[in-house]
Amino acid sequence: MVRVMAVGVFDLLHAGHLHYVEQARSFGDELVVVVAHDDTVRKQKHEPITTHELRRRMVAGLKPVDEAIVGNPPSVPIFNILEVVKPDVVALGYDQKHSIDAIREGMESRGHGHIEVVRVEGLSDDLDGTRKIISRILDLWPGTQGGPYEED
């Protein structure tokens, strides 16, 4: 049994997220998805639109996902999640900025050198990211900059 771990924010679940978990699942027999803790999202990206518990529930409902858990807050070392999930493979999203080599080195230095790190292929769609979707909505929303505006 090959356990794959995927990690992400998964804010405003969309087709790019589904593609990521489908691709990640193809690397093994079981997929555990770690949904970023709200405090981690705030520290590294932005204010989350939905809570980590709601995001976890949404991801858990995706067919390729066997289990979804909330990751540790930023006060806990990032590699500690490996002790919880115990993956054989870590699947990175195509748009995640993490360096595969840096992750491998970090895992090796903590005794997890046996874990394979892979990157999934991207989705060929222009609405494959939360920020892209928000931007598109704003472009189309009446009264917002760049979008159609209906006068009274």
* Domain spans, the chain: 3-123
Residue of 81, 61, 63, 59 lying closest to 72 (CA atoms)? 81
* Model pLDDT for residues 91-106, shown as the tens digit of each residue: 999 878 778 888 999 9
* Model pLDDT for residues 47-105, shown as the tens digit of each residue: 999 999 999 999 999 999 999 999 999 999 889 999 999 999 999 998 787 788 889 99
Would you tell me which CATH number, out of the four given (1.10.10.60, 3.10.129.10, 2.40.30.10, 3.40.50.620), belongs to the domain 3-123? 3.40.50.620
* Model pLDDT for residues 97-145, shown as the tens digit of each residue: 778 888 999 999 999 999 999 999 877 666 566 777 777 778 877 766 6
What pTM did the predictor assign?
0.84
Cα separation, 29 vs 40, whole angstroms: 28
